[in-house]
Amino acid sequence: MKRLIAAATICAVVMGASLQARAEAPEVSVAADGAAQVRVPFGDLDTTKRAGAAVLLRRIRSASEFVCGPRPSTPLALGPMQAFEGCVRRTMDKAVGQVRAPQVSALYLMGRG
């Protein structure tokens, strides 16, 4: 599936749904505004605890990299790498805000500092 969507319109959708233990391909959909969306389930996590918040942030990061990808094959490609990392950061900012979990937000902000 081609992902020819402008970085400014990409977002990750965070949903509180149960996650099966096995690895699955991301569930990708397209919103009315054309933004790619990936469900990030976290109903199985206790996001009030640091460990649960950390797992959710890893899931959000993975989903963000998926919708913003592919990651440039070399970090020497500065322009593409900066565009990719900027997209991931904007996507994560939006997704973390949608979760509305203080521990997740605090841990995310600590990692950005």
Domain map (residue ranges) of the chain: 7-112
Three-class HEC string of the chain: CCCCCCHHHCCCEEECCCCCCCCCCCCEEECCCCCEEEEEECCCCCCCCHHHHHHHHHHHHHHHHHHHCCCCCCCCCHHHHHHHHHHHHHHHHHHHHHHCCHHHHHHHHHHHC
The tens digit of pLDDT for each residue in 28-75 reads 777 777 778 889 999 999 999 999 999 999 999 999 999 998 999 887
Identify the pLDDT of residue 26. Answer: 65
What's the pLDDT tens digit per position in 87-97? 999 999 999 99
> What is the rounded distance in angstroms from the CA atom of residue 65 to the CA atom of residue 59?
10
Q: Is the pLDDT of residue 27 over 70?
A: yes
